[in-house]
Amino acid sequence: MRLPNGYGSIYKIPGTRRKPWAVRITDGYKDNGTQKFKYIGYYESRPAAMIALADYNANPYDLSKRKLTYTEVYEKYCQGRYLSKDNAIPNQYVAAFNRSTNLHDMTFTEIRTGNIQDAIDDCDKGYASKKNVKILANLLFKYALANDLVVKNYAELTKLPLQENSDKHKPFTADELKTLWKNTNDYGVRFALIYCYSGLRPTELLRIKTENVFLEERYMLGGMKTAAGKNRPIPIAEKIYQFIIDWYNPQNEYLITDEKSEHIGTYDILRNRYWERSPIIKQMDHLPHDGRHTCATLLNNANISEVIIQKILGHAGKNITQKVYTHKTIKQLIDAINSI
């Protein structure tokens, strides 16, 4: 079948190649009048080559972008999305990228659903890690769509395994909390207690700026991850009030600092330098996120309303009334957190 003039051409390269079908377009003319070509790519079959050429003509793209690998698109996305120290690449996305090794060197425009599915299926971690692999791939394909690099989001078609009940996170027991309160000079213990009596995610605490801590009013502004969780009022429980005072220094940009007044900026620093070095915490087999689970459990045990618990934890309401029309005052949040 003869292709229209200016449409591009397809030809088969002699020899034994895995992808022998070449697709090219005219990119100007030489001084002697002969054509100059740019290659769109190489394909395993003529039908695949025809589809690639049709896609290009339906939506011409910058061929220099065509050769970008998954790694290069990831780097470009991160450079545009995460520019400042206040907006670092989330650890879960870094981990998800590192677990997608089969995609790293692939030309992005040649990645298909099966390739992403392989990355998900080959991940040897739990459901959350597999989900993050899919989420990252989805973000990169949306970025590629916005920049006319691809015409379809293949990440959306992948499937996750059935979510199993996980015992990875568990609340601190009543006896463990008593032990923590007997060892409050330990930095790791202080972190644990703040998480247990605030419901903060581990990284949320580290990102709270000093200017957003209101000691007299007994609350802080912070949060991340979801619309309901960002910039929410976080009540300071009476039980952890002294810890916050001890950390508070108006000369520091961030509330949480180390012994040298340097910002403890990442979850890895928190966990490696304080959590895992605490002899008290080591005896209990807990992760920093377990404090958030403890807070939710304590609030529930104290018969605090679901709406208040959601406000404290930064969860979105389950219905339109909870999401839009239910406004709880900071005093109500403080009273609730002081009841546990």
| Average pLDDT value for residue range 281-301 | 94
Of the pLDDT bands very low, low, confident and very high (cuts 50, 70, 90), residue 32 is confident
Dist CA 276 CA 281 (whole Å): 7
Cβ(68)–Cβ(107) under 8 Å? yes
| Average pLDDT value for residue range 72-97 | 81
**Tokens coding 115:** 């390739």
Helix (H, G, I), strand (E, B) or coil at 308: helix
State the burial class of residue 223 (Cβ atoms within 10 Å of its Cβ: 0-12, 13-18, 19+).
buried
Helix (H, G, I), strand (E, B) or coil at 263: strand
Cβ(204)–Cβ(222) under 8 Å? yes
- Predicted confidence (pLDDT) per residue in 67-80, tens digit: 789 999 998 898 88
Dist CA 226 CA 316 (whole Å): 8
- Predicted confidence (pLDDT) per residue in 120-154, tens digit: 999 988 888 899 999 999 999 999 888 878 888 99
DSSP β-ladder status, 35-43 and 213-214: unpaired
**Tokens coding 185:** 């000079």
- Predicted confidence (pLDDT) per residue in 46-71, tens digit: 888 888 788 777 766 555 556 789 99
Dist CA 106 CA 84 (whole Å): 29
Q: What percent of the chain has pLDDT over 70?
A: 88
Determine the distance from the C-alpha atom of residue 165 to the mean position of all C-alpha atoms in its chain, rounded to a whole number. 21
Cβ atoms within 10 A of the Cβ of 234, count? 25
Helix (H, G, I), strand (E, B) or coil at 102: coil
Helix (H, G, I), strand (E, B) or coil at 265: coil
323 DSSP 8-state letter: I
The pLDDT mean for the chain works out to 86
Of the pLDDT bands very low, low, confident and very high (cuts 50, 70, 90), residue 228 is very low
Residue among 121, 101, 110 at smallest CA distance from 154 = 110
pLDDT score recorded for residue 97: 95
Dist CA 177 CA 192 (whole Å): 9
Range picked from 120-129, 182-191, 264-273 for highest mean pLDDT: 182-191
- 127-146 vs 91-98: helix crossing angle, rounded to 10: 90
Dist CA 217 CA 206 (whole Å): 20
- Domains and their CATH numbers in the chain: 9-60 (no CATH), 70-157 (1.10.150.130), 174-337 (1.10.443.10)
Ramachandran angles phi, psi of 266, nearest 5°: -135, 160
Cβ(27)–Cβ(38) under 8 Å? yes
Token look-up 């949306």 returns: 142
Dist CA 151 CA 14 (whole Å): 30
